[in-house]
Chains A and B, each alone.
Chain A
Amino acid sequence: MTTNRRDFLTAAVTAVGAAVTPDLSHAHEHDHEHQAVPSDPTLRVKALESLLVEKGLVDRSALDALIDTYEHKVGPRNGARVVARAWADPAYRQRLLTNADAAIAELGYGGLQGEHMVVVENTPKVHNLVVCTLCSCYPWPVLGLPPVWYKSAPYRSRAVIDPRGVLREFGLELADDVELRVWDSTAELRYLVLPERPVGSEKLNEEELAALVTRDAMIGVGIAARRQGDLG
């Protein structure tokens, strides 16, 4: 049933293709990574958007605003500020671990796909790793939209059965005496890892601390950079 829809909008695509000059070279280059798709997604999505706008079902400026939000306003810098505050302020850290929604809202963050947050803390003896084996659940308000690898089959399949192997692939060798907790985001709770504060960061202010916090550290596939130069 679904297969038949893959060539939806073929007629419309032809019409749109005549009217626009999309950057086909770039689109095709990307297609090769994912095998051939029936028709060019650029044209198909453009045709779909045009139809929906013409029917009055979507507002083009709303689409622009949504894209702008996740390209420029909401991303892992938000989460980094939360982590830095928790490192700098023990009372905040406590609030974050016991009532994450309220604590994150203190910094002005929250909302779509982060309505119900849980923060899990790394310690010298506990490491946390977040995955969504069933789809791509991820805490948008603090990390933005998920990277491709997080949504991909290799990560989703292995994070629960071979988490230490996954961490090794990210360059993180976990000692045998460290307990590894994997959090599978199967419900509407969204997880953020509070990484360990790097050794030697005692004199840094909150802003400098935030610069040490990587997105990967807040997923649990990395640790906070030890020096600013390490920040990937």
Chain B
Amino acid sequence: MALVYDGDARAFEVIFDRHASAAFSLAYRMCGRRALAEEIVQEAFVSLWRSAARYDRARGSVRSWVLRVVHNRAVDTFRRELSSARHDVSDDWIADVLPARERTEDEVERRSDARLVRRALDGLPPDQRQVVELAYFGGFSHAQIADALGLPAGTVKGRMRLALSKLRIALGEPAGVLP
């Protein structure tokens, strides 16, 4: 990363080759459209190239940093599209988002870390898993999810918190401040 910070395009190419597949896979999982996913990834990596100085090793791996930027870009894109199209979040949209989980299962099984995460997700109560998938992979805000599911915003936030807490425990993180 020090070389990327210094503007070394070859070093950046190495970073891209190492993380592009994960980045594209996340973007594609979120938007389901190859062209849009490629656009998100390209924008994210250009942004990374230009902001390499902001990378702080103490706050996580390069992979985490890359995926956070891709995720943020994807969410921004969704919100921009929703806003410009004046779409309401309907149950149909949610149904479109959720089935992707089934489509992915065969490939997920190929990787042990993926299997572990999937197992942890599957171990969540369905209402908690649903809000995580809608928020993280679907790019919906808590307010949109609350509207779509007919729930108070506080309930949605509470389910998100419970879900992440349980995932943390299931994935082996030490207990901390959470109940």
Chains A and B come from one and the same complex: no
